């Protein structure tokens, strides 16, 4: 596998290319890239055939150990790899530890293992156990076992232990990776830990930066889940910029989590190459549709999302976006989606996921084109304005609600 980029300057928006995958040699992926989020081996709410209606362009999938570890024994017994086992062998896959769409429980630390929280409870994973799973799954890319249980509130002691344990885990994982015949076609990435402590980040980076790796996962900034949507650039910029400046500029940089599109653009500007699509998934779960790319007056989409739990859409017979090319917008109205969402029909999340995933993949296409055309700043301004409009709208609605309550009381 090979990663090349048009810029080897640190902390700058750049376009790159991932090529030479051994399992699927003709696959190539341009970065900045969004890995398509999967859960238990499939794209949530979408069958394989429906997913192909969303996009016919080859995609790379993110696979979390959290949602797939229960498949280990079955995959091992069938002597096949994960991609073939779940019927997605034509897609390149990247194995990570935790599911970015769900909060990871903190604590429960042990010296030689990490807890992985599945729907059946806690699983304790050592480096040797993890590498047994990796050998059975044979992912195209994977991150070494790491302790990413840190966030902005973590103590210096917790951060220090996370770095030390992650270094030990990497040593064990890399030794087995280097000697494994089954993993010759897989790439291992190192996780940069250290929370929001610069000295700890520097220690983690210095340990990994000379290792023969294609890239790094910038980890330990959050504990996954919905709260990541509310993390702003102001919170992460200093530590993210510091981290990226110390890493080899020519190497791949990955940041998992359901970052909102504004923060994604900020991280792209700092030089991050790969993200995931857990954000459109959590938006879908909330019965919302992404509209942050829609600037068409006739659509009347003021903010970055619309919620189909709101009564205003009950008699709206227009599509989510009149210019969107997704199946949902071409065939269904807001009124129909409002009906499906309020009657809890399964089709509601199918249609919303089709739209939201299409929009998010288009978002990354726009990012790549804007970098190539030197219009990235204009792109940032447009997206930021949609989110600001939504914030203003919410304040106005809150004020209106307070006025109504006041009138009622008087």
| Binding-site annotation: residue ranges for Zn(2+) | 324, 326, 329, 355
- What's the sign of the alpha-carbon dihedral 100, 104, 110, 116? negative
Angle, in degrees to the nearest 10, between helices 376-409 and 346-372: 140
Q: Whole-angstrom Cα distance, residue 251 to residue 272?
A: 10
Residues annotated within the binding site are 324, 326, 329, 355
Nearest 10 degrees: CA dihedral of 136, 137, 140, 141? -100
Distances (CA, A) of 386 to 294, 295, 303, 363, 400: 9, 9, 5, 13, 21
3-class secondary-structure state, position 96: strand
Q: Is the peptide bond before 32 cis (omega within 30 degrees of 0)?
A: yes
3-class secondary-structure state, position 264: helix
Angle among Cα 197, 173, 168 to the nearest 5 degrees reads: 40
Q: Whole-angstrom Cα distance, residue 331 to residue 326?
A: 9
Whose CA is closest to 343, among 387, 372, 308, 295?
308
Give me the residues paired with residue 188 across strands: 142
């Amino acid at each position: 596998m090979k990663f090349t980029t048009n810029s080897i300057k640190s902390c700058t928006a750049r376009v790159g290319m991932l090529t030479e995958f051994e399992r699927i040699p003709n696959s190539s992926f341009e970065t900045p890239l969004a890995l398509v989020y999967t859960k238990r081996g499939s794209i949530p709410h979408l069958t394989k055939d429906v997913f192909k209606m969303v996009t016919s362009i080859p995609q790379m999938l993110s696979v979390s150990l959290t949602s797939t570890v229960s498949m280990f024994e079955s995959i091992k017994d069938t002597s096949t790899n994960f991609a073939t086992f779940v019927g997605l062998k034509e897609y390149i896959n990247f194995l990570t530890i935790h599911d970015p769409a769900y909060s990871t429980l903190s604590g429960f630390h042990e010296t030689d293992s990490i807890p992985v929280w599945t729907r059946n409870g806690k699983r304790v994973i050592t480096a040797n156990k993890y590498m047994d799973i990796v050998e059975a799954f044979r992912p195209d890319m994977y991150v070494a076992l790491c302790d990413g249980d840190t966030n902005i509130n973590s103590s210096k002691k917790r951060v220090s232990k996370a770095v030390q344990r992650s270094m030990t885990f990497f040593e064990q994982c890399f030794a087995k990776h280097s000697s494994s015949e089954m993993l010759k076609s897989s790439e291992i990435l190192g996780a940069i830990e250290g929370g929001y402590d610069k000295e700890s980040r520097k220690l983690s980076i210095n340990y990994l930066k000379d290792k023969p790796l294609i890239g790094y996962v910038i980890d330990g900034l959050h504990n996954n889940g919905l709260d990541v949507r509310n993390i702003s650039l102001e919170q992460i910029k200093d530590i993210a910029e510091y981290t990226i400046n110390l890493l080899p500029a020519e190497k791949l940089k990955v940041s998992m989590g359901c970052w909102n599109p504004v923060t994604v653009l900020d991280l792209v500007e700092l030089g991050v190459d790969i993200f995931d699509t857990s954000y459109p998934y959590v938006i879908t779960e909330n019965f919302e549709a992404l509209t942050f790319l829609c600037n068409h007056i006739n659509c009347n989409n003021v903010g970055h999302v619309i919620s189909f739990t709101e009564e205003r859409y009950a008699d709206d017979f227009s599509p989510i976006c009149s210019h969107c090319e997704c199946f949902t917008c071409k065939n269904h109205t807001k009124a129909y989606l409002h009906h499906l969402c309020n009657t809890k029909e399964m089709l509601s999340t199918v249609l919303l996921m089709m739209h939201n995933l299409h929009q998010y993949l288009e978002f990354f296409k726009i990012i790549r084109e804007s970098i190539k055309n030197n219009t990235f700043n204009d792109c940032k301004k447009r997206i930021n304005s949609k989110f600001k409009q939504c914030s203003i709208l919410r304040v106005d609605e809150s004020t209106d609600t307070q006025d109504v309550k006041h009138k009622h009381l008087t």
